[in-house]
Amino acid sequence: MTLIDATDAKILEELQRDARLTNQELAERVGLSPAPCWRRLKRLEEAGLIAQYAAILDADSVGFSITAYSHVSLENHHPDSVKLFNELVQDRPEVLECFMMSGQYDYLLKVAARTMSHYEEFLTKHLLPNPAVRSVSTSFVLRRMKFTTALPVEPTRA
């Protein structure tokens, strides 16, 4: 774990709010001059604290009005089965996130679909026919109550 001070934490908070800030704008917001701000930013990137920069699209605006959470149980946990399932997940663009879980289900998928028919097609043509998959239980999002990608950043103590 990389140690960060209060200034590093401010840099990370500002970038989570708006990753398109120029170095000059970022420096002004965190109370630094541009050169030290740039050096700190590069150090944070090199340390892996900043995994990537991305544009977050509005799903409805680009035609994905359905968000589904699919709880998946595998037939077994043999490495070949897990590999087969992981390949499916990596290959399907509808799958936005995949988590290996503890508890009743083996995996949780976040799936984006244009329509219910689109989700049904993903389920019946791709997910359920996969030999590694035993069962799928799906919950559909009715309304998103909160959305953020920002993590609560605080200075770390040694």
Same domain flag for 35 and 73 = no
Q: What number is the average pLDDT over the span 120-133?
A: 98
Instruction: Name the average pLDDT for the chain.
Output: 96
Tokens of 83: 């590999």
Over the stretch 14-47, which tens digit does the pLDDT of each residue have? 999 999 999 999 999 999 999 999 999 999 999 9
Check: CB of residue 72 under 8 Å from CB of residue 109: yes
58: its two tokens: 């509005």
pLDDT higher than 80, residue 1: no
Q: What is the mean pLDDT of residues 119-130?
A: 98
Domain that holds residue 22: 6-46
* Co-location of 71 and 134 in the same domain: yes
**Which amino acid would we find at residue 10?**
K
Determine what percent of the chain is predicted with pLDDT higher than 70.
99
Q: Which pLDDT band holds residue 71 (cuts at 50, 70, 90)?
A: very high
Residue 127 is given by DSSP the state I
Angle formed by the axes of helices 34-46 and 23-30, nearest 10°: 100
For residue 117, give the CATH number of its domain: 3.30.70.920
Structurally, how many domains does the chain consist of? 2
Q: Would the CA dihedral through 140, 146, 149, 153 be positive or negative? A: negative
Same domain, 77 and 120: yes
Residues 29 and 79 grouped into a single domain: no
Identity of the residue numbered 49: L
Q: pLDDT tens for residues 91-124?
A: 999 999 999 999 999 999 999 999 999 999 999 9
Q: What is the DSSP string of 44-59?
A: HHHTTS-----PPP-T
Q: What is the CA radius of gyration of the chain?
A: 20
pTM for the model: 0.88
